[in-house]
Chain A
């Protein structure tokens, strides 16, 4: 099979169309560069009626929204999931990892919770504080101007709070709390847990004349038909195309490797078209990888040449190392004060209206690093799974009976909106021994060697999860709530989810000044290849107790500015 090599040389070839790739495409194309964007899945626009799931009713899906086709249910926007047919990955014995992938334009930005938290000054310097992991080579002051720009470009609601490690930004007004969130505020305050309006990239107010304003359907994860929330297609790529940016979009294009010339210099990427299953090559002066932390690590490790025998950018041996995801554990409670509710439209935005940022000092605790708390509940739209907890809930009423027959409707109404769930999302410690590598025995359906994961949690994360459960129980207690099901104990790692389940994995091409101890420099540029950049979560030295997207966006913008500058100075040739 001959690889089809187009003679055209782009200024930049961008692999991936999510947060990082979308931002790079926008900034580079608007600076006049000719860019190619490769996306492994199909074209997707949430405003396209044929792809719309927003404002659908549960009965429109024969499985009523169950997760048997899409991991987060039939109405979730994300194609793909933790398992994709024909695209396996493996795990070393005794280790765990779940790898979530969205194969579609915009990638995982079509699914996420729009939780948009800046890292704070401490989040870049954790080693200096607790001696674990490493400091970033940059600090908050380097990223702040880009966070400010991202806020205004993409739109985010929130409130100015003046908290030391939760920097304020350019916010739109947050929505008022829902009823169960008012109960949460009261209970959290009694438990001495900080609670503030949430910070989500949803337009509660217009930010330009091309995107609509939120109409409060609580369905951001379905993709917004009026583009009132952030997704990379709607907010970055489409606007850049409209404003005249030269972007050639290659969808269904599964990138295999970065191609190097005789001298070992990166000249392009090779990809397999899912449409005709043939291999093609695209050439570019600059290669920007944004295929997700593990996706980009896989591409680099598969890019072997005489000059780069261990894979491109891997002279340190650290590509794939320091993989880390957020910790996650949850609990839910029945709150009797919320029984038998009068119903009204309580949808609100697609997520919680209030949340708790990390509020404690780890010096006084038996684990490092913090977590934030996300709040669930309310009079939501029923979907598959509705009513499944009625047996559990009936236990609180012991002998009342009526668990079938005429009384059951009353029970359903009694419990509707009376369950509050709390989820902790925390920072794990980046460790060299948690990594992904190429599995020597396995290829995917495109013949590309796949990743093998090696990941275990440490006691740091387990003790953090224990603390989460204790906090949840204290808050439930302050709401006069009854926890549903037993509190997970030591044998269950305190409910700590498997790594990968929170979909915040980062660290596989980490940033640093020392080429022996890091993969990219502070501009996300490979130490080993000046014209190759990584703008996804890979360069993160440490994941904070925050969601990574806002930092991916800010850093991708900063890197794009650097690329433009370096091209002008002819430093990337």
Chain B
């Protein structure tokens, strides 16, 4: 699926979901869309203390310019652009890593020290820091630490660093709009769940059994429920 198709299907998904929701929620003041519009003022439901903490973290600086530059090179080597979607730096991953290192200070020494470890090794092998190495040299350095199963034991610090950086890069990338489109995640919109699509069931050789489906039958979900004395749903 190319990018245009993905975006199109996302849009269709949200439009369809919106229409369904309107049909099922008569009270306008309880529509999530109404809430969304009213609150899109830059916040995301913070308490005053949380807002203050976010602002303090945002005003601090942890990584040096040289470190950010190194992170940028590394992040894009980990997750480069492809034909449809931008790279890690296009999605702002280094900025995210800067924030998360301040937010979760346990990341600080492993990231800073990891970059130092890598520069030391780059210097020993190629007489230059990592960012000044050629593409081929950089690849050689990373190949040696990228696969934990195959890495030499003395390179373990590099393996641990690279694994952390890859994790943060993936988290940072796939939690952006670009990343979510690239993953083709289709949710976070109002909709009605009606089971796994037929073609997916067929692909997996699965089906819903009749007895189970009968329990899930819900033809009048916007009508107020009533039960008989035994607790059987009668409307």
Chain A residues near B227 (CB, 8 Å)? 152, 170
Find out whether the CB atom of A206 lies under 8 angstroms from the CB atom of B225: yes
| Proximity string of chain B (183-200) to chain A, C-beta cutoff 8 Å, 1 when within and 0 when not | 111111111111111011
B221 partner, pick from A204, A227, A388, beta carbons under 8 A:
A204
Contacts A57-B188, A413-B183; A226 near B38 (Cβ below 8 A): no
Chain A residues near B183 (CB, 8 Å)? 343, 382, 412-413, 416
User: A405 contacts the other chain (Cβ, under 8 Å)?
Assistant: yes
Find out whether the CB atom of A345 lies under 8 angstroms from the CB atom of B196: no
Q: A148 CA to B229 CA in the complex, in Å?
A: 10
Interface members, chain A 171-191 (any B CB < 8 Å): 171-179, 182-183, 185-186
Find out whether the CB atom of A56 lies under 8 angstroms from the CB atom of B45: yes
Find out whether the CB atom of B231 lies under 8 angstroms from the CB atom of A148: yes
B187 partner, pick from A185, A217, A341, beta carbons under 8 A:
A217
User: B116 contacts the other chain (Cβ, under 8 Å)?
Assistant: no
Find out whether the CB atom of A177 lies under 8 angstroms from the CB atom of B39: no
User: A79 contacts the other chain (Cβ, under 8 Å)?
Assistant: yes
Q: Which of B57, B58, B100, B216 has the most CB of A within 10 A?
A: B216
Find out whether the CB atom of B196 lies under 8 angstroms from the CB atom of A205: no
A197 partner, pick from B30, B53, B192, B212, beta carbons under 8 A:
B212
Query: Which 10 A-B residue pairings sit nearest by Cβ, starting from the closest?
Result: A387-B170, A49-B39, A215-B190, A176-B195, A58-B175, A347-B187, A173-B218, A64-B175, A49-B38, A159-B215
Q: Which of B39, B171, B194 has the most CB of A within 10 A?
A: B171
User: A164 contacts the other chain (Cβ, under 8 Å)?
Assistant: no
Q: A344 CA to B197 CA in the complex, in Å?
A: 8
Q: A446 CA to B24 CA in the complex, in Å?
A: 47
Contacts A57-B188, A66-B103, A215-B190; A409 near B216 (Cβ below 8 A): no
Least CB separation from A413: chain B residue: B183
Interface members, chain A 16-64 (any B CB < 8 Å): 42, 47, 49-64
A206 partner, pick from B36, B50, B223, B233, beta carbons under 8 A:
B223
Of A128-136, A283-291, A395-403, A525-533, the one with at least 4 CB within 8 A of chain B: A395-403
Least CB separation from A57: chain B residue: B188
Contacts A58-B175, A381-B185, A382-B179; A174 near B44 (Cβ below 8 A): no
Chain B residues near A385 (CB, 8 Å)? 171
Find out whether the CB atom of A216 lies under 8 angstroms from the CB atom of B188: no
Q: A116 CA to B74 CA in the complex, in Å?
A: 47
Chain A residues near B192 (CB, 8 Å)? 215-216
User: B149 contacts the other chain (Cβ, under 8 Å)?
Assistant: yes
B52 to chain A, nearest CB (A): 11
Chain A residues near B225 (CB, 8 Å)? 155, 172, 205-207
Chain B residues near A360 (CB, 8 Å)? none
User: A379 contacts the other chain (Cβ, under 8 Å)?
Assistant: yes
Find out whether the CB atom of A381 lies under 8 angstroms from the CB atom of B44: no
| Proximity string of chain A (76-108) to chain B, C-beta cutoff 8 Å, 1 when within and 0 when not | 000100000000000000000000000000000
A346 partner, pick from B38, B172, B187, beta carbons under 8 A:
B187
User: A168 contacts the other chain (Cβ, under 8 Å)?
Assistant: yes
Find out whether the CB atom of A54 lies under 8 angstroms from the CB atom of B223: no
| Proximity string of chain A (209-245) to chain B, C-beta cutoff 8 Å, 1 when within and 0 when not | 1111101111000000111000000000000000000
B-side interface residues, number (CB < 8 Å): 95
Q: A185 CA to B175 CA in the complex, in Å?
A: 31
B119 to chain A, nearest CB (A): 18
User: B90 contacts the other chain (Cβ, under 8 Å)?
Assistant: no
Chain B residues near A250 (CB, 8 Å)? none
User: A391 contacts the other chain (Cβ, under 8 Å)?
Assistant: yes
Chain A residues near B50 (CB, 8 Å)? 69-70
Q: A179 CA to B200 CA in the complex, in Å?
A: 9
Contacts A66-B104, A216-B190, A387-B166; A171 near B35 (Cβ below 8 A): no
Least CB separation from A174: chain B residue: B216
* A/B interface sample: 10 pairs, CB < 8 A: A173-B233, A178-B196, A179-B201, A205-B223, A213-B222, A215-B190, A216-B191, A380-B185, A388-B171, A391-B148
Chain A residues near B148 (CB, 8 Å)? 391, 395
Least CB separation from B195: chain A residue: A176
Find out whether the CB atom of B175 lies under 8 angstroms from the CB atom of A386: yes
Least CB separation from A347: chain B residue: B187
Interface members, chain B 1-45 (any A CB < 8 Å): 13, 17, 20-21, 24-27, 29-32, 35-36, 38-39, 43-45
Q: A42 CA to B49 CA in the complex, in Å?
A: 12
Q: A211 CA to B27 CA in the complex, in Å?
A: 9
User: A349 contacts the other chain (Cβ, under 8 Å)?
Assistant: yes
Q: A464 CA to B185 CA in the complex, in Å?
A: 37
Chain A residues near B142 (CB, 8 Å)? 404
Find out whether the CB atom of A349 lies under 8 angstroms from the CB atom of B193: yes
| Proximity string of chain B (46-61) to chain A, C-beta cutoff 8 Å, 1 when within and 0 when not | 0100100110011000
A100 to chain B, nearest CB (A): 17
Contacts A171-B233, A207-B225, A403-B147; A217 near B188 (Cβ below 8 A): yes
Chain B residues near A513 (CB, 8 Å)? none
Least CB separation from A226: chain B residue: B30
Q: A74 CA to B47 CA in the complex, in Å?
A: 11
User: B79 contacts the other chain (Cβ, under 8 Å)?
Assistant: yes
Find out whether the CB atom of B233 lies under 8 angstroms from the CB atom of A53: no
A379 partner, pick from B171, B186, B221, beta carbons under 8 A:
B186
Q: A66 CA to B103 CA in the complex, in Å?
A: 9
Q: A226 CA to B24 CA in the complex, in Å?
A: 11
Find out whether the CB atom of A406 lies under 8 angstroms from the CB atom of B174: no
Find out whether the CB atom of A64 lies under 8 angstroms from the CB atom of B96: yes
B75 to chain A, nearest CB (A): 10
Find out whether the CB atom of B170 lies under 8 angstroms from the CB atom of A226: no
A248 to chain B, nearest CB (A): 23
